[in-house]
Structure 1
């Protein structure tokens, strides 16, 4: 797998998907704008990606580098991956069947439907949707596009790291949210130790935290307001060695920290982000990660598929 996730391979993938994905912007701010001690903070606005999240990178990488059978494409998702695969399939003219659990947000469900995919809603958690998806694939022969534990998915998400380094080469540290670990694993693969990478996950869904403690992916609890994007049962087998080698630990944030981060992004920057999308920023705002003097920090705001943010009057 290491050859597949080399710098050269990620550069090749980026060229392949470039016509289909947005080069999302960064905004440079002073942390003091958010009531923190002053330090330079770079925010990667990946919520402005097609289909509303970074997942679109991995979706197009799968569909452009693998043969699509007549049966089409199938994917299980908490919501964002499903929207991304549905969008990519729509753009490339391929049929897609998407499986999501009942906890998926209405905004994500509506996105999937808007791209014309055949949508199946069932089960309480991502693991339930995945089981249904795998049964369908075994019966139909459809192409499986895994949300995070697929090498092509990791390659696609790694292009975010490539893009961020081009936009902000001065960064000392990059923080990114963790669910199944596709985003963090991809970013780790791109930077490969040249920049400090820190994962952030909800206290109620500490998948990577538990895995690092155990020395392998293990089941973790799955309770959080970010459960539709950051609460699979466990992290992916493919990303785990990347996190072990290149990630400088994990920070945990509470649901209250996540809600506060959503409101702060709206209040200061007029950015509307979903709970899972603000986890990395929440770690900064709650000072779960405190940079050293002079440290230049970047955070990924990874998704914006929500209608459920309370902004106040």
Structure 2
């Protein structure tokens, strides 16, 4: 019997058809970057130019439209808990779908993300000091109000929407890919894993102080972790999601961990060299390449997903 948590390529293609023309097909940029072994060619996927400044709009919209088609979207709209980006994606998608959005974020969520949520018309509750506390509160609120509860990452339609990035990369970049993406709860990683073709490889990157996926790989099963990273506002899951864990099994997916200093330096280099500003969490994927921890296999193109830019220049 197949695992109900495991994403398959057909679910990604279905999501792509559902959200086609409603989200941005984000651009790629090919360039040479300097790494310890010398210059290498990479392709950057500029997903930070997506509606809401992050890939999360893809999954939220897919989930909302799917629920509406099935008659599961009521007058109370949608409700989601998030460190910020999933909430912004849900608020943007809800506005497009003409329904209400209520979000629960930790009290530690960056003000720039709270401001974005309010501009999108979402009702914002700040509860707890980390993601899981906000998620528990959101679950209670959904029961009380009847709102459709979206998950930030551990929900099939949400992760399937994120996976549409992989389909775009396969269309835009010829040949086998080595795709590098940061990992929070693993929705993006799960979606990308379901799009892997023969010869492709996927690398999930986390800060050492927010490494629930890497610690699960080392342990052999998802485990609760303690957060201690500058990127925990966006990569703030304390346990990798069941969908991610099931979807990476038996697929060409690796795990890499970087230090906070590495991702801070990667973020600085993106700004100084390209005038691109991303979140600290997003910069983790770049850091893995710049430090030489990830290199492309022979005959493979190295692709980095720049997945979010909901941050402040002051940082």
Alignment TM class, shorter chain as reference:
over 0.9
Query: Aligned pair 1:222/2:207, yes or no?
Result: no
TM-score by length of 1: 0.94
Query: Aligned pair 1:282/2:282, yes or no?
Result: no
Retained in 1: the 8 A contact 2:91–2:122? yes
Query: Aligned pair 1:150/2:152, yes or no?
Result: no
**Deviation, structure 1 residue 19:** 2.1
Retained in 1: the 8 A contact 2:178–2:201? yes
Determine the structure 1 residue equivalent to 2:87: 82
Determine the structure 2 residue equivalent to 1:62: 63
**Deviation, structure 1 residue 154:** 1.1
State the alpha-carbon separation in 2 of the partners of residues 3 and 204 from structure 1.
26
TM-score by length of 2: 0.93
State the alpha-carbon separation in 2 of the partners of residues 3 and 231 from structure 1.
21
**Distance change (3 Å), C-alpha of 1:18 and 1:4:** farther
Flag structure 1 segments of 5+ consecutive residues without an equivalent: none
Q: How does 1:174-213 map to 2 (within 5 A)?
A: 174-191=179-196, 194-213=199-218
State the alpha-carbon separation in 1 of the partners of residues 14 and 116 from structure 2.
29
**Distance change (3 Å), C-alpha of 1:6 and 1:31:** same
State the alpha-carbon separation in 1 of the partners of residues 213 and 10 from structure 2.
27
Determine the structure 2 residue equivalent to 1:97: 102
Query: Aligned pair 1:40/2:45, yes or no?
Result: no
Equivalent position SS for 1:240: helix
Question: How many residues of Structure 1 are paired with residues of Structure 2 in the alignment?
Answer: 309
**Deviation, structure 1 residue 308:** 4.3
**Deviation, structure 1 residue 2:** 6.3
Equivalent position SS for 2:179: strand
**Deviation, structure 1 residue 131:** 0.9
Retained in 2: the 8 A contact 1:278–1:302? no
Retained in 2: the 8 A contact 1:207–1:231? no
Retained in 1: the 8 A contact 2:6–2:246? no
Flag structure 2 segments of 5+ consecutive residues without an equivalent: none
Retained in 2: the 8 A contact 1:43–1:299? yes
CA RMSD after TM alignment: 1.8
Determine the structure 1 residue equivalent to 2:21: 19
State the alpha-carbon separation in 1 of the partners of residues 73 and 12 from structure 2.
21
Q: Deviations for 1:47-93, whole angstroms, at most 9, x for unmatched residues?
A: 00000001011000001101311221100000000000001111111
Retained in 2: the 8 A contact 1:97–1:117? yes
Retained in 1: the 8 A contact 2:7–2:247? no
Q: Deviations for 1:137-191, whole angstroms, at most 9, x for unmatched residues?
A: 1211110110111000111011011111111132431111100000001000111
Determine the structure 2 residue equivalent to 1:114: 119
**Distance change (3 Å), C-alpha of 1:3 and 1:237:** closer
